[in-house]
Amino acid sequence: MNVNERTKERATAATEPGARRPRLVPALVFLLMNLPIGIMAMTVLIAMASLGFSMIVLFVGIPLLAGTVLAARAAARLERARIHAMLGTPIPEPYTVPVGGSGLQRWIAPFKDRATWRDLLYFVVLCPVGIIQFSLVIAFWSLSLAMLSLPITYRWFDDGVYHFPTTDLRWITVDSTVDALPWSAAGLVFVLLSVLLTRVLAAAHARFAKALLG
φ, ψ of residue 174 to 5 degrees: the values are -125, 115
Question: pLDDT at residue 170 above 70?
Answer: no
Q: Is the dihedral of CA 203, 208, 213, 214 positive or negative?
A: positive
Which amino acid would we find at residue 187? Answer: G
Q: Using 50, 70 and 90 to split pLDDT, how confident is the model at 179?
A: confident
- Give me the percent of the chain exceeding a pLDDT of 90: 30
**Tens digit of pLDDT for each residue in 96-119?**
776 665 555 666 767 777 888 888
- The helix/strand/coil state of 168 is coil
Structure-model confidence comparison of residues 171 and 61, the more confident one: 61
Q: Tally Cβ neighbours within 10 Å of residue 179.
A: 16
Q: What one-character-per-residue DSSP string does 90-150 give?
A: -----PPPP-SS-HHHHHHHHHH-HHHHHHHHHHHHHHHHHHHHHHHHHHHHHHHHHHHTH
Which amino acid would we find at residue 112? Answer: K
Q: Using 50, 70 and 90 to split pLDDT, how confident is the model at 138?
A: very high
Mean pLDDT value across residues 169-176: 66
**Tens digit of pLDDT for each residue in 185-200?**
888 999 999 999 999 9
What gap in Å lies between CA 82 and CA 124, rounded to an integer?
18
Q: Please, what is the average pLDDT of the chain?
A: 79
Q: What is the pLDDT of residue 25?
A: 92
Q: Using 50, 70 and 90 to split pLDDT, how confident is the model at 3?
A: very low
Name, in order, each residue with C-beta under 8 angstroms of 124's C-beta and a sequence gap of 6 or more: 42, 45
**Tens digit of pLDDT for each residue in 9-56?**
444 443 444 446 788 999 999 999 999 999 998 888 888 888 877 777
Nearest to 194 by CA among 152, 136, 146: 136
**Pairing mode, if any, of strands 162-165 and 170-174?**
antiparallel
Q: What is the pLDDT of residue 129?
A: 93
